[in-house]
Amino acid sequence: MTDQLFLKMNDNFQIPVVGLGTWKSEPGEATYQAVLDSIEAGYRHIDTARAYGNEESVGSAVRDSGVNRGDVFVTTKLRWEDEGFESTIEACEKSLNRLNCDYIDLYLIHWPLREKRNHSWKAFIELRERGLCKSIGVSNFTIEHLAEIEAKFGILPAVNQVEFHPYYYQKELLDYCNSKNIIIEAYSPLAHAKRLDEPKLGAISEELGKTPAQVLIRWSIQRGMVVLPKSVNKSRIIENFSVFDFNISDSVMAKLDELDESFVTCWDPHNPPPYAPV
Ligand code: A2P
């Protein structure tokens, strides 16, 4: 097993830097087995969401893994349909039931829904006080949304989970979050497998003797982020965690930074769908 690394969040809890992503992991056997395989490979961080429909499978696998609940960091997210004060409290309780656990390590507002996001954040603060979640954060928030939370509540999210990879290098957001001690969690850190055969990445991968996926994951770690590669394939799950035994030099990191082409593979809060305005 390779060494686990942790970052300290602004609420003093620790978060493992590599977590298993489960967006698009089919509920049932596929997700259950992926979570078991990941824990066996050394992962201690699983990222799910109400919207993925696989919280039950994640919860069962965490329970069946044989690893103490306290040693596995579990994140889930409030779907935008449940935003609002009361509905957020209820949604959290329901997620806990589906996960079949007593607390969530990290609960995130999945989407910065206009009108509702501040009510949800108020509920998140209460949920944390009640011990239903240890840490609270957000996902898909822009600098403007983060600044709004700070101005209204003075309580900043521990993390902001956004799409992040060299092909979508959101440097301004990363710099802002660093300045506010908010950790960026990189989702779709493999650009959803849509750039793994891109020639410049291929050349760097050959030079380092690591796979393109490992190079992308290591880049996120060295840029100071938590990184959430998704896979339901055991050998790729192992591959994606084998990223603690090499280092990318500053000059190669700079070459990776230059791959940026604002390539967004997922929902973009800068260009939101009309039914989920931000
Ligand atoms: P699979 O689940 O079959 O392994 P992202 O995390 O950027 O959203 O990327 C997820 C996609 O990348 C999935 O299609 C996943 O497929 C694939 N994937 C995950 N790990 C690897 C890897 N090491 N090499 C190639 N493809 C991968």
List, by residue number, the catalytic residues. 52
**Residue having the nearest C-alpha atom to atom 17 of ligand 1:** 193
- Of 20, 45, 190, 241, best ligand 1 pocket probe by most atoms within 8 Å of the beta carbon: 190
pLDDT of residue 1: 39
**Residue having the nearest C-alpha atom to atom 4 of ligand 1:** 231
- Mean pLDDT (whole number) for 188-200: 98
For residue 266, the ligand 1 atom closest to its alpha carbon is 8
State yes or no: pLDDT of 198 exceeds 50: yes
pLDDT of residue 2: 46
State yes or no: pLDDT of 257 exceeds 60: yes
Q: Quote the ligand 1 centre to 190 CA distance (angstroms).
A: 7
Residue 249 lies in a domain: yes
- Whole-number Å distance between alpha carbons of 51 and 65: 24
Domain of 47, in residue numbers: 12-257
For residue 239, the ligand 1 atom closest to its alpha carbon is 23
Q: Among 83, 57, 211, 209, which residue's Cα sits nearest to residue 20?
A: 57
- Whole-number Å distance between alpha carbons of 233 and 162: 23
Residue 154 lies in a domain: yes
State the pLDDT confidence band at 3, using cuts at 50, 70 and 90. Answer: low
Q: Number of C-alpha atoms within 13 angstroms, CB side, residue 89?
A: 11
Residue 40 lies in a domain: yes
**Residue having the nearest C-alpha atom to atom 12 of ligand 1:** 193
Is residue 141 within 8 A of residue 118, CB to CB? The reply is: no
Residue 166 lies in a domain: yes
Ligand 1: lining residues by beta carbon, under 6 Å: 21, 188-193, 196, 211, 213, 229-233, 236, 239-240
Q: Quote the ligand 1 centre to 70 CA distance (angstroms).
A: 28
Q: What is the CATH number of the domain that holds 137?
A: 3.20.20.100
State the pLDDT confidence band at 274, using cuts at 50, 70 and 90. Answer: confident
Residue 141 lies in a domain: yes
* Full-model pTM: 0.97
For residue 193, the ligand 1 atom closest to its alpha carbon is 12
Report how many domains make up the chain. Answer: 1
Is residue 106 within 8 A of residue 136, CB to CB? The reply is: yes
- Mean pLDDT (whole number) for 238-266: 97
Residue 117 lies in a domain: yes
Residue 95 lies in a domain: yes
pLDDT of residue 147: 98
- Write the pLDDT tens digit of every residue in 78-136: 999 999 999 999 999 999 999 999 999 999 999 999 989 999 999 999 999 999 999 99
* 247: amino acid identity, one letter: N
Residue 6 lies in a domain: no
b/e per residue, 259-277, with b = 16+ CB within 10 A? beeebbbeebbeebeeebe
